[in-house]
Amino acid sequence: MKINTETKYCQTCGIPLEIDYNNLGLEQNEEYCEYCLKNGVKLYDFSMDYLIYLWGLFPEEYYRETGIKYTSEELREVMSKRLPHIKRWKQKVNTAHIQYELIIKVQEYINRHLFDELDSDTLSRVASVSKYHFRRLFKAVCGENIGNYIQRLRLEYIAFKLITTDVSVPKLLSQINYQNKHTLSRAFKSYFNCSIPEFREKHSKVSPERKNPIQIDFSIEKISGIRVAYLKLERTQNVSHSFSVLWRQLLQFSENHKLSSKGCKYISLTLDYPLITPEEQIRFMVGVTLPQSFRIPKGFGHYEIPAGEYAVFRFKGFYHQLNRVYRHIYLDWLPTSDYALREQFTFETYIDTPEKTPASELVTDIYIPVMKKEV
């Protein structure tokens, strides 16, 4: 692609820059837009594919900033040609086309059929691409091959059941249709570097001295199913910045459709148990709840939060302190409560937003799916 030499582009996000060279200030930057400069150019560590994916979700924002109207497909095509030639992405190899929606679709299928027969033939049909292209695309987007991804999720699910229930290994195997005890033992030890009994013992005494004292009000609530439109968070070296970019997109989407006035809430969803899954591999999404009649917009994932009983913990404070709250819930509250986890899935709803509320005053509700312990 021949770059238009008369147009300057932000050397991170690719948006056209309006520069008046006749009145250029001494400290004015000629390479980056105000947003990228303000948020730290070097910290903007998305992959190029992911950035193009995000642009395609919100072409109206591009129109508002530039006055140039594109459809999602057109804007992604423009950015696919433009970004490899600007400073932030030059020299980078673009290994996967902008097909995050396909991978999200496959991941959702895997979540629903984790212990079914899952092979490349089946999953490539779900993605509607060739088997070869699917394997290459999945690794480029997720950072691991499809076989390792499925095996890891299965072992982490089993580990979750081992430390949150008293179920025996044979009974667990019959429930999830895993191959056999010996196959599981070998795979488990290879992944967690300890045997199943050692793993259970280690986590049964993880916080004997209550090293995470914290007082948080909680309640037990029964909720109906919740419909969510979400965006996938790509884990980068600076997760907080990645989160803020998606948060900004969600706020704009919500404002455009007046969702707040309809009682919708901002939400994040975690499909893994944070004390088992490495942080960089936790399946994490940010989204907004939707009325049943609202059509899921193109480019967003769709998730139905299951109805049931939840322990709800209300926390007031900085978002970066939430990890401490989760440690309290899992290591201190849960072992001494009358409840057990029924699934590893958790979610948070945000009562207010950082744009309107001081960071120290932000209120977050954490929902943990629970059931009464058997006596």
**Secondary structure in 3-state letters for 147-210:** HHHHHHHHHHHHHHHHHHCCCCHHHHHHHHCCCCHHHHHHHHHHHHCCCHHHHHHHHHCCCCCC
For Cα atoms 76, 78, 84, give the angle at the middle one, nearest 5 degrees.
95
Report the pLDDT value the prediction gives residue 310, as an integer from 0 to 100. 95
Residues 64 and 344: their CA atoms lie apart, in Å, by: 41
| Residue 20 to residue 315: CA distance in whole angstroms | 48
How many residues does the structure list for the chain? 375
Q: Which of 302, 283, 295, 285 has its CA nearest to residue 249?
A: 285
Q: Which residues pair with 147 in a beta bridge?
A: none
**Mean per-residue pLDDT pooled into runs of 10, the chain (375 residues):** 60 76 50 72 60 81 85 88 79 45 81 86 90 85 86 88 78 77 87 89 59 71 89 58 69 82 84 74 83 79 87 88 80 82 82 81 91 79
Question: Can you give the pLDDT at residue 92?
Answer: 44
Q: Note the pLDDT of residue 221.
A: 93
* The pLDDT value given to residue 20: 52
Residue 294 exposed, middle or buried by CB count within 10 Å (0-12, 13-18, 19+): middle
**How far, CA to CA in Å, does 209 sit from each of 201, 202, 212, 309?**
16, 14, 9, 29
pLDDT score for 94: 40
Residue 183 makes CB contacts below 8 A (sequence gap 6+) with none
Q: Is the pTM of this model over 0.85?
A: no
Q: For position 90, what pLDDT does the model report?
A: 66
Residue 314: per-residue pLDDT: 92
Tokens representing residue 59 in the block: 């072409």
